[in-house]
Chains A and B, each alone.
Chain A
Amino acid sequence: SQKIEQNSEALNIQEGKTATLTCNYTNYSPAYLQWYRQDPGRGPVFLLLIRENEKEKRKERLKVTFDTTLKQSLFHITASQPADSATYLCALEGRRALTFGSGTRLQVQP
């Protein structure tokens, strides 16, 4: 069956460092993959979309890579700030809608 895996353990890093989050998937061949940010008690907010023919995509301090051979996406936040603390979800196109991973909680310490 289709499966999306994100590291369920929280990631704690120091302010200014680069945070790297991982999203692995099996039994999918998605045309694209998306990353969202979710704050407690709020809906997800779209961050980036990367298509299967794109290896890397950047937006300000964010960078996403997409390796369709490894079936993995990496999400990087450079020069991290305490305001970046949130849960980050990866999502793949499903049969009718997006299918989400369970998310990784990022905590940036000042």
Chain B
Amino acid sequence: GAVVSQHPSRVICKSGTSVKIECRSLDFQATTMFWYRQFPKKSLMLMATSNEGSKATYEQGVEKDKFLINHASLTLSTLTVTSAHPEDSSFYICSALTVAGGRPSTDTQYFGPGTRLTVL
């Protein structure tokens, strides 16, 4: 159980275009999902926390107008990279919280397989 999928797994786009990445919890409901990005041989950096039915909370330094997050249902969060540029090329990973003891808890977090974005 507790499977998280991401789509697409890999995307190549031209500079200036927008790209949407989907994150789905397949067999559980996730009120909270997280979006990370990872550069080669670097750590995962939290970009934003996505809560179902409310606005995402962005980490310092992450442009909310550039990285649009929508969490429209309990099983789906989307990240849209708007007007993508080559420096946005990265590995984007989402994770979802299961609910433990009746409340979300960071100790039960499941990660998607990641999306490799390349902006030409």
Task: Report how many A-B pairs have Cβ atoms within 8 Å.
Answer: 55
B25-48 vs A, CB cutoff 8 Å, 1 = contact: the mask equals: 000000000100000011110100
Interface size class of B (residues with CB under 8 A): 20 to 34
Interface residues of A in 10-67 (CB under 8 A from B): 32, 34, 36, 41-46, 49
- Please state if B107 and A97 are interface contacts (CB–CB under 8 Å): no
B74-114 vs A, CB cutoff 8 Å, 1 = contact: the mask equals: 00000000000000000101010000000000110111111
Query: Which of the residues A8, A34, A100 comes within 8 Å of B107, measured between beta carbons?
Result: A34
Identify the closest chain A residue to B34 (Cβ). A97
A85-100 vs B, CB cutoff 8 Å, 1 = contact: the mask equals: 0000100011011111
- Please state if A49 and B107 are interface contacts (CB–CB under 8 Å): yes
Identify the closest chain B residue to A32 (Cβ). B107
Query: Which of the residues B6, B44, B112 comes within 8 Å of A100, measured between beta carbons?
Result: B44
A96-B46 CB under 8 A given contacts A32-B107, A42-B114: yes
A97, B93: Cα distance in complex, Å: 13
- Please state if B111 and A97 are interface contacts (CB–CB under 8 Å): no
> B107 contacts which chain A residues (CB < 8 A)?
32, 34, 49, 93
Assuming A43-B4, A44-B111, A96-B46, what are 14 further A-B pairs, CB within 8 angstroms? A4-B43, A32-B107, A34-B107, A41-B114, A42-B114, A43-B6, A44-B93, A49-B107, A96-B57, A98-B34, A100-B44, A101-B43, A102-B42, A103-B43
Interface residues of B (CB under 8 A from A): 4, 6, 34, 41-44, 46, 49, 57, 91, 93, 95, 106-107, 109-114, 116
